[in-house]
Structure formats: C-alpha cells, structure tokens
Structure 1
Amino acid sequence: MLSSSGTFVISSPMYYSHSDCGYCEGKKEKFLGLNLPAGANAPKQCLSSSVGTHVEQMTCQHYDFLINRNFRRSGNFLYKGDMLRGCCRMYTIRTDMGQMKITKEHRQVVNRFKRAIRDDKQSTQVSTNSKKGESFELVSLIRAEQQSSRFRTRYEPAVFSKEKFELYKKYQVRVHNDNPKTVSESSFNRFLCQSPFTETELEGTPEQWLALNSWTKNWPHHEKCHRLGPTHECYYLDEKLIAISVLDFLPSGLSSVYFIWDPDYAHLSLGTLSGIREIQMCKELGLGYYYLGYYIEDCAKMRYKGKFGGEVLDVCNGAYAPLERIKPFLHDGKFFTLSESDSSEISEKELDFSEMPIKWSSDYVDASEAIYGLEKTYDDAKKTKDTLAQKLHLADPKGNVNMELPDVFPGCLPLHQILTLFENLGDIDLPVRVYDYERNALCRSFSHLPARLKCAAVDCIRLFGVEMFLNSIMYG
C-alpha cells in the first residue's frame, strides 16, 4: 500500500529486552559492557537488549549502508544491539583475502575437503601441504572443484523448498539441540527465505545466475559477478544436499546470513570451508568485503569469526579497526570506542551518516569509560532531551515523552546532534512521510505529526540519519 520502487519502508522503532539471549543464554555474571553510572538506567539482571524495526521494503543499497552502521536483518526484521545495557556486545566484522592469514587449520580443512570430493579415478596422492614452509595455494580448492564430478554448488534465489527445510531441521536439532517440534517450515521460511528486498533484487536475472553458477567452471577466465540480492548457495555431494549458505550480495561486499550443514558431514568442517570459499569468491569476482555478521568476543560460537582475520566496526566513530589491534579492549565482553587522544572526559561524538565508514588511522586509545562511564554524559543527554521535547512538542497529553531509544545509545546520533539539526532548520518544517494508522492518514510534515509519531521520527533520525529518514516511509 505504501511502497514505491526502491523506497525504505519501516515500522516505528521498538526497544526490547528479554532474558533469553541466543548467545550467552542469560547466564553471564558480568553482563554489562562498562561500569555504568545510575543515569544509564542499566538493568540489574542479564538481559539481551536491542532496538529493531520491521522492514516492508528496502534495497540492497539501503542494507549495505545499514550493516555498516551495525545493523543486521533476520528475515524482514532489522535490529542492532544496545552496547551499554545488553548482555552481549555485537560488532559488525568484515574481512577480505588481504586480511586473512592462512593457518594450519585452514590448510587442513581445504585438503581434507579436496580428498573427500575427488573422483575415484583421480590420483590418491593429495599433498597435505601441512608442513611449515611448504607452499600452499588456496586456488587449489577451485581446481579441485573443477576436476570433481561428485561435488557441485548451485546459486539460486532464496526460496523455500522441502529439501532445504529438512536439512535445516536436521541441523537445528542435532547441532543446536532445538526441540524438533519448534523447528517449523514457517520459521525456516521467515528466517532464511523471506527478505524485504525489491522484486528485481529477489529474482535476479538469468545473466546473473549464469555468471555465478559458471564462475568456478570457467576460472580463471570467468566473468565478474554483478548480482545484488538474497541468495542460497546449495552444496551437493554425490547429488545429495549437504549444506546451504544463505547470502546477501551487496554493493560493497558479500554478507553471510547463515550456514546450514549436514551433521553427518561434520568431519569436513563445512562451516570453516564455506568461509574460505566465500572470501576467495569475493576476491575472484571482485565483490569487495566479506561480512561475517556479528563478532562477540566472549561468545565461542561467534568468536570463531576472528580466525578469518578482518576488522570490526567502532560504532561511535563510524570506522573499522583491525581486530588484532583492538582485541585487548574487548576482553571479557567489554564495550570499546576509540579516541585520537587519551582524555579523562570526552563528550558523545557526533556521527556522519552521509558517508560509508572509514578505516581508523589514528592512535588506538579506548575512550569508552571516558565517555560512557561518566554520569555527566547521561545528565547532559537528559537535559538535551527536555529541551528537544519542549521545542518539538514531543510530550503526549499526560506529559510523557515516549521515545523508544535510551537517551544515550552508542552508534546512534546523539541527542545534542538532533537538537542542532532542528535548531538549524529554524522555521522550516521537516518534510516527512509517516503513515498514521490511528488516523488512517499519510502525514507529510513533522509539525503535523501527533506526539507519539514525532518521538518515533526522532528515533528514526537517530538510527538512520536524517537523509535516509527523509527518503523513507515510516508507519505506526
């Protein structure tokens, strides 16, 4: 109803907390990112806390921007964690071939897989290349796939099939110990098939699918890939589906959404293999970075991503920093943000959402305590919120200002930056597109919104930046 081609269409944001964390299971004793003052309103118990919105439509260009602002999607739901109050610090991590160091484990996984897929008629003499100092060519994996008549992969649209679901259920039950009764076709479809991308991006073109499905065969004389959109890469061994890699092809790189593998093939370490293959594919097809989702230092099932090298996003600076350099700051699941100088007191930093993140090039000084460990930061934000509420008439008839986001939320535009924005507008009304369900009307100016939707609009500007919000449609 509201959608037009290429428009970012979202629900009003919601902040939510619950004790059922998928990473730490709510069992952490030290569950906060810092020693927070009273003004931070930190929880007294271990809670998973995030802000999210339902996305009716977005483009791959939108999502590329968003994952570089520490968002991730689960189906049609877009979310980012609260780095201060949540139990697990989740950082966007990305890498490429230049940042990945080939380890002994990588060599063993690749060589084991090469042996597993070779034809019986092929030579049984496969060098393990495991001795230190011996050469190891990662492209030998491509050659092994070219020569194998037993192994193949197929890239296809991210659509449901019974075969895919059965493998997903087997994986969830045997690897993640899920209750078989809770693993439903609808949950698989919602989580790993549905997405809010445009129809063109969902379907792709015959040329895109041909380029993807023939690049290994034609290597090194393959075509570059120009696919944008959600994709399933299905792994077949002896014509049996043994794994599914759920991927989003984006303008700046390839985003790994989820990987499913048959527990009967656990000896092949298919999860590690898929990471190696996909990083290699990014290089060969000129795709850019390989986004591995979130990195969580104190969670073993998320910390493994560090073995592919790479860099993590400093959400307060909009900058990527090498994981090796900032890892000491992450010890024990701590929150970090970098500063150019060592100062005992630094105010919340303004963010520029008009550009993609940069690479951090200054000194590596952790300023998290100097900014977010001080009561003054929260007092200043509260005063700014009161000023903003008065200026923009954000209070409802009962005098409540119902913004979902906490006053201080690392990775979002700070409230003083929002106040400056509206002060600079002067008497100019901010043009918006907000659908009000209660009044069944589309509002096109900020001043005409009811207080609850003004608060939601301010939340959106803090989350996405003013430019993206003004080019979106929000409903609530």
Structure 2
Amino acid sequence: MSERMIISEPYYFTDSISHCGYCNGQKPDKNDNFAVRSWYDKHLQAQDGLDVQNCTLGVQLELVSVEMYDKLCNMGFRRSGKFLYKPDLLRNCCRMYTIRTTVDQVKVSKDMKACIKRFKKAALPDSNQNSKKGHKGPFDFMREIIETENESKNFYTKFEPAIYSDEKYSLFARYQESVHNDFDHNPKSFKRFLCDAPFSPEVIRGTKQEWDQLNDWKNPERYHFKRLGPAHECYYYNDNLVAIAVVDILPSGISSVYFIWDPAYAKMSLGKLSALRELAISSKINRKHYYMGYYIQDCPKMNYKGKYGGELMDLCNYKYTPLSRIEKDIEHSKFFLLSDDPNLANEPRLDERFSETPATWQASDKLYNVVENVYGVNGGAFRAANEAAEQLSEKAIPYSREPFHDICTHEKKNDIYSIPNVVPGLLPLGEILQMILQQKINLVNNNMVLFDTSMGHIRLVVDFDQESPQIKKTICDLVRLFGLKNTIDSLVIV
C-alpha cells in the first residue's frame, strides 16, 4: 500500500428520482421510495409534492492502492472509472447494498444448470452430451465450466489489461444500444467508464507473469496468483469477441464492475454464465469472495444477485450478514441496522472498524433491526448529530444544525459540497467531535497533503487547528467517509 491516495474533496449530489437508473421514479408503491417506514407515514398525505431524491456521495479518485480500494468496496463504495461513489441509503430512492458471495454459498438452481447446458451446447457443438458418462454426485458448476472450456475448440477467454481498443468499443456500442437503448456514448465515454482506473500505471499494465498465471486459472496448483488490479476478460466464440467482463481483482476477492455481451449471442446467456465463471475463478485463484456490486431488493435487474446466495453489508456496523437473515427487514426497499441491543438509538462508532477487515454477524447472535430507533422520524441519530454540529461550529468547523431534519428536505441541494449531518455508513458527527476534543484529528498534521487548485501549489497540513474553517470541514468530511487512519496520508485536491 505504498501509493498515497489522491482524492478530491467530497461531493454530495441530488437529482430527481426520474433520473434513477434503477427505478426511474416509477415505483408502483410510494412506500418503497422510503428507507424507513415512519418517514413514509409522515408524508402519506403529501405524496404528490414529495421531494424524494436520488442521492449520491463521492470523490474523484485519482490514485489509490488496490488494497485500499478493497477496503473501500467493503465500506459500500463502488467506482465508475475514477469516480468513487456510494448512495445515501437514508435519502436515496433505492436501497443499494453491497453484496458478496462465495462458491460455498451458491445453491445451484435449475436456471443455472440450464445456463451451463446452453453453454456446453454452444461450446461443444459436435459432442453428444447425453451419451457422455455423467459424473456421480451433486452438480458441480465449476467442474462443468472447466471441462467444457478445456474441450472446446470454438470458445475461449483471455484476461488482459483494461485498455481501450476499437473492437471493444464496437461491442460496447452494440450492447448499450440493443440492451439498454442507450445511444449517448462515444469512445471517450467508454474509455472513461470501463478502461480508466484510479490505480498506478504499473498496476494497470501488470506483468507478463501475472497475465500468464491468470489465464491459466484452471490449474491453481501451479501458482501463487500475483495479479491484483483491473482486468478485461475477453470472451471469444468462433474467433469473434462476444463479451467482456470488466473486473477488479482485489486481495479479498474479484469485484465485478460491468459485463457487456454481443446481442447476436443472447441465447448463450453469457451474463448468467459470467457470474458462475467469476465465482469459479475467485475460488481457483484463492480470492475468497465474489463482489457482485449492489443488490436492490425491489429492482429485478439487481435483485437477481440474491440467487447466488451471499451476504449484504450492514453499513452502519461494517459487518456482513447473510441475505437470508434480513430478507424480511429489507422488503419494500427498506434500510436495516442490526444490533444486539433492541433499545439502541445512536449510530454505532465506525472509525476503529474501518481500520479492520469487516466482520460477519454470527448465526448465534440474537439481533434486532433498530433502524426506526436510530433513523426514524424520532430517531436518535438526528438529535445527536445536531448537538455535535453545534459544538463543531463553535470550534470554527462550519457544520450547522438541521432544525427540521426531514430526510426529504434538501435545503442545500445546489451546494454539492454539503453532506447532511446524518448519513448511514459515515462516521457519526459525534465521533468526529470526539476526535477534535481528544486531538486525534492532529494525526493529519505533517501527513496529509493539500493541492490548492486556486493557487496551483501543493502544501503539507502542518497544524489542523490553523487551517481555514472550510479546509477543516473538508478534512472532517473525508474522515467521515473513510475513517481517520485511511485518510491521514492522503493528497487532497481542494
């Protein structure tokens, strides 16, 4: 983790839910727009004029180590090119949960078996599958995929650096236009979206040894796989490029970024196949988890991921929990917060947890969903945040009370640098206040670097207390997003 993280000051975007790429503001039940039931009940009589928004936090991420990006994924962040983002799950119209799974958590369904059968039929057109001697025991999708690819003469894949080519863009264009009815694209936007990455040039290029090992993933006994970073896995059928899996290979697993396929080969179900293949590859190269992006309970194009088993991130606790455990809690696109204390009313502290590998709630834990206690209309999080904001303001850090803490009110929606006082998954303002009072924030001194775009120069943060109010707030907001330890040696563009 030698790279210094280079990031912009954080942004907070709000937009009409009609621009949401998942629900388009068209949910049939308005209750499903709300993270917490009590907020829906409060606005039940004013639905037509309700200002529910599509809300996202993010930073421009110019450089980061693969190890740090692994941590960020587990905090609920994803990347689009070099833009790092996460939804505000309290105010956003859709609840977007980080989901991960493993080979052991997958229960092979009839649909998955049918997908592999179609793949075998296409990849082995001359074989009589029914006449082949079958394997005894339960269906093993990893074995089926590997044997089929080893025997096929017309299907193969190749891992390579995530760099632009006209052939890749042509495939992307066909996919976007046919599958998503998206004609607003060009080579530059494709490169920015699926080729650009916030890693060093050396990481992006990789080495011949790394790529050779990765392309021999079916023989794991030969290697200690070294590849970390972004990759394009190109799928070829009859020597035609028919699909590209865009992935990030992380220390803890493979993260799926995007998958594009040629509409002419729709019958091959390459999208479904890719998930099974990437699960198999994760296991074979000794990366425990397969990160599938976001899971949205009420969105068909995102909730299919639940078919692969797995677990969701309990964002406020930085802990994973099996999806099966909280399915009822997240019905109607609701937010959840688990606790062993049924009376918990304050947001959990997160800073120390962000320095560690995320834990998992144990099956033996007796847990309660306390989301109403903390984030409901009378939730304790808002009161505590307002009290902390007042004290921070007294110390010349310009946070302000939000007197009417309605999650559907966005008084500062045109200020993209203003993050609400309460956002699930960020360090609570009270925790930031304690860092100030205990002078822990001074760890940024002589570590954090600022690039001042207005002055065009780089300087060291020597004394946090002597910085301008706005710079202090920017530093505090970054700590809210990432934790103190993960932030102290960053280079921040302001």
* TM-score, normalising length: structure 2: 0.88
Match of 1:226 in 2: 226
Secondary structure of 1:22's match?
coil
CA contact (8 A) 1:404 1:459 kept: no
Aligned 1:102-113 pairs, distance under 5 A: 102-113=108-119
CA contact (8 A) 1:395 1:451 kept: no
Q: Give the letter aligned to residue 193 of structure 1.
A: C
- 1:394-439 per-residue CA deviation (whole Å, 9 max, x = no partner) reads 379xxxx986221111001001111111111189574132222234
Q: Which runs of 5+ in 1 are unaligned?
A: none
The whole-number CA distance in structure 1 between the counterparts of 2:21 and 2:370 is 29
Match of 1:424 in 2: 438
Aligned 1:5-154 pairs, distance under 5 A: 6-19=3-16, 20-28=19-27, 29-30=30-31, 31-35=33-37, 44-118=50-124, 120=126, 122-125=127-130, 135-138=138-141, 139-154=143-158
* TM-superposed deviation, 1:286: 0.8
- 1:46-98 per-residue CA deviation (whole Å, 9 max, x = no partner) reads 32101111011111111000000000000000001101111111111000111
Distance change >3 Å, CA 316–CA 395, structure 1 → 2: closer
Partner residue of 1:172 out of 153, 167, 176: 176
Distance change >3 Å, CA 377–CA 224, structure 1 → 2: same
* TM-superposed deviation, 1:13: 0.2
Match of 2:372 in 1: 369
Match of 1:196 in 2: 198
* TM-superposed deviation, 1:380: 2.1
Distance change >3 Å, CA 241–CA 51, structure 1 → 2: same
Secondary structure of 1:7's match?
coil
The whole-number CA distance in structure 2 between the counterparts of 1:143 and 1:116 is 14
CA contact (8 A) 2:101 2:311 kept: yes
- 1:245-298 per-residue CA deviation (whole Å, 9 max, x = no partner) reads 000001111000000011111111111111111111111121221000011101
CA contact (8 A) 1:37 1:375 kept: no
The whole-number CA distance in structure 1 between the counterparts of 2:466 and 2:397 is 11
Aligned 1:133-282 pairs, distance under 5 A: 135-138=138-141, 139-178=143-182, 180=183, 182-216=184-218, 219=219, 221-282=221-282
Secondary structure of 2:130's match?
coil
Match of 1:387 in 2: 391
Secondary structure of 2:327's match?
helix
Match of 2:357 in 1: 356
Partner residue of 2:426 out of 412, 418, 421: 412
CA contact (8 A) 1:435 1:473 kept: yes
Q: Give the letter aligned to residue 266 of structure 2.
A: A
CA contact (8 A) 2:254 2:282 kept: yes
Q: Which runs of 5+ in 2 are unaligned?
A: 401-411
- Which region of structure 1 is more displaced relative to structure 2, 89-98 or 20-29? 20-29
RMSD: 2.6
Q: Give the letter aligned to residue 461 of structure 1.
A: V
Match of 2:406 in 1: none
Secondary structure of 1:246's match?
strand
The whole-number CA distance in structure 2 between the counterparts of 1:78 and 1:452 is 22
Q: How many residues align?
A: 461
Secondary structure of 1:467's match?
coil
* TM-superposed deviation, 1:378: 1.1
- Which region of structure 1 is more displaced relative to structure 2, 322-331 or 40-49? 40-49
CA contact (8 A) 1:225 1:287 kept: no
Q: Identity rate of aligned residues, in percent?
A: 39
- 1:325-360 per-residue CA deviation (whole Å, 9 max, x = no partner) reads 1111110100001011322x5211111211121011
The whole-number CA distance in structure 1 between the counterparts of 2:81 and 2:334 is 28
CA contact (8 A) 1:235 1:243 kept: yes
Aligned 1:282-293 pairs, distance under 5 A: 282-293=282-293
The whole-number CA distance in structure 2 between the counterparts of 1:360 and 1:429 is 31
CA contact (8 A) 1:151 1:235 kept: yes
- 1:446-469 per-residue CA deviation (whole Å, 9 max, x = no partner) reads 223222221111100000001111
CA contact (8 A) 1:297 1:332 kept: yes
CA contact (8 A) 1:326 1:364 kept: no
The whole-number CA distance in structure 2 between the counterparts of 1:220 and 1:358 is 28
The whole-number CA distance in structure 2 between the counterparts of 1:63 and 1:100 is 25
1:469 aligns with 2:483: no
Distance change >3 Å, CA 126–CA 296, structure 1 → 2: farther
